[in-house]
Amino acid sequence: MSTRRVLIDAGNTRLKWALTEGERWHAHGSLDYSDLSALAPLLAKADASYIASVARAQHENLITRLLAPGVVTPIWLQAEARFLDLRNSYDNPRQLGVDRWMGLIGARQRTQAATLVVSVGTAMTVDALSTEGVFLGGLIVPGRAMMQQALRQGTARVADVAGAWQDFPRTTADAVESGIVAALCGTIQQQHARLAEMAGGSPHCFLTGGDAETLLPHLSVAVEHVPALVLEGVDRVAKEGKTE
């Protein structure tokens, strides 16, 4: 009988999950930390649970309560120096966010080409992967909501009003939204150009995270939107029998 696995990607603002068995994904979705009750019946069906968490301590405590004795014992993952042909070049490999590491693992399963892995969430990370499977390094910048918050707190006349993208904004709200999108897209495009120069050709680019769709229409480089990329990495680690 195949092992049923609950995979969890616990982010800063939301939790993503999937129920898998062998090569099959039975179901997947996302939950707000205010109500994780939908996880309980999934865990009751599982033989194993693998968690990649960058969540706050109080949110991890909520997950732990659902994984009380009598329910499947969770395996809390972390970044490592190596996974199969993937090498983590961080000075301290364990310091790399586990969500970023799982995203790199997920990307490596999809292509052996030089790759840019972009996660657009509370923060945006832009990570470069060589054709040889070496994680070259990456950037972390504030995400869309954090940039909005910073502008509203740090300036006197930026109100909490939703704006929309405009090539040449003529309202403050539109100027804020357009400026943020341009800044995030510019970061991606600059790193794409740097990796292309190093790799000698255009790298593949995967885009994931809650605000990925906001950037998609505005990027000048080709990208592939993979909403569950981190969970794909968790699933790959689970299939290799990671136990600690």
pLDDT value at 244 more than 60: no
Tell me which of 9, 99, 127, 235 is the catalytic residue: 99
Q: Where in the chain is the domain with CATH 3.30.420.40?
A: 4-76, 82-144+166-233
Q: Write the DSSP string, 188-230.
A: HHHHHHHHHHHHTSPPEEEEESTTHHHHGGG-SS--EE-TTHH
Is the pTM of the predicted complex or chain greater than 0.85?
Answer: yes
Q: What is the mean pLDDT of residues 80-99?
A: 96
Does residue 99 carry a catalytic annotation? yes
Q: What is the mean pLDDT of residues 114-120?
A: 97
For 82-144+166-233, CATH gives 3.30.420.40
Distance CA 240, CA 244 (A): 12
User: Can you read off the two tokens belonging to residue 135?
Assistant: 């994680």
The domain defined by 4-76 carries CATH number 1.10.10.60: no
pLDDT value at 243 more than 60: no
Beta carbons of 48 and 238 less than 8 angstroms apart? yes
Give residue 241's pLDDT band: very low, low, confident or very high (50, 70, 90). Answer: confident
> pLDDT by residue (tens digit) across 146-178?
998 888 887 766 767 778 899 999 988 899 999
